[in-house]
Amino acid sequence: MGTAVAAPVGLSVRRGDESVVEDPEWPSVPLGLLRQARPWRTFRWFKGQQHYSGTYWSATVGDHVIYESRLELGRLLFAGFAPEVRQIVAQPFLLKAGVDGKVRKHIPDYLLLTDDGPVVVDVNRGTDLRSRKSLSPSPGRGAVTSRGWQYEVWSEPDPHVLENVRFLAGYRRAWLFDPDLVAALRAVDLDGMSLGDAFRLRPECPRPLVKSAVLYLLWSGHVTTALDRPLSTGHVLRRAA
């Protein structure tokens, strides 16, 4: 039997000055408020904890974003790698929703503002999802989809893709690359060229600088390549759609 999720009972959002906005109308809560929201929870460190918390500098937002597990860090890496993601907000709000006649509370892990609209993300290990398959779904799902937003439950990605995205994230800081060199490489038709051949472009420039600039173009989405196996010089670049 499905779980009935009613309209949200209430919402709480923490502002940048740490003040809390209580119970704005969920159907009309402005994205501007959520875009500037501070994380609802604070870090908890204790002896023997089973997860690792930290902060990740995101090129998407130009600032640090918190994560409470390595799996959440993985989702941040993928969000930064997706050019359609324009903003990342960690723990954007506390939602109180009516589920089967009871009030349940839920704090999403991330809110992604994308070219296709907002996406609310919960990060869970696959083993947790399987063990909870007979339990009620998150009370956030019904509330999120009722507004026409996307709701995503994210678990472990393909390990090869994750490691490649993690490697490319090392080239996410645009200001570290010579803008003239980057512009010159952008002007080249890289479609169908191997990664190794792209590294050999601009022979008048030091090879490490050219290699780094090409990998920045791959991170930033100017070109794409298959990421389901370890990156090599034989990987073929394709023009981004």
Which band of pLDDT confidence, cut at 50, 70 and 90, is reported for residue 139? low
Give pLDDT tens digits for 58-109.
999 999 999 999 999 999 999 999 999 999 999 999 988 777 777 788 899 9
Which band of pLDDT confidence, cut at 50, 70 and 90, is reported for residue 134? very low
Cβ atoms of 181 and 210 closer than 8 Å: yes
Question: Does the model's pTM come out above 0.85?
Answer: yes
Tell me phi and psi for residue 75, to 5 degrees.
-65, -35
Tokens of 96: 């109180």
Burial of 88 (0-12, 13-18, 19+ CB in 10 A): buried
Give pLDDT tens digits for 175-205.
999 999 999 999 999 999 999 999 999 999 9
The H or E element spanning position 70 is: helix 70-81
C-alpha to C-alpha distances, 39 to 13, 88, 108, 143, nearest whole angstrom? 9, 11, 10, 19
CATH class, range 5-154: alpha beta
Q: What is the pLDDT of residue 204?
A: 95
- How many beta carbons lie within 10 A of that of residue 178, not counting itself? 14
Domain boundaries in the chain?
5-154, 159-239
Provide the 3-class DSSP secondary structure of residue 177. coil
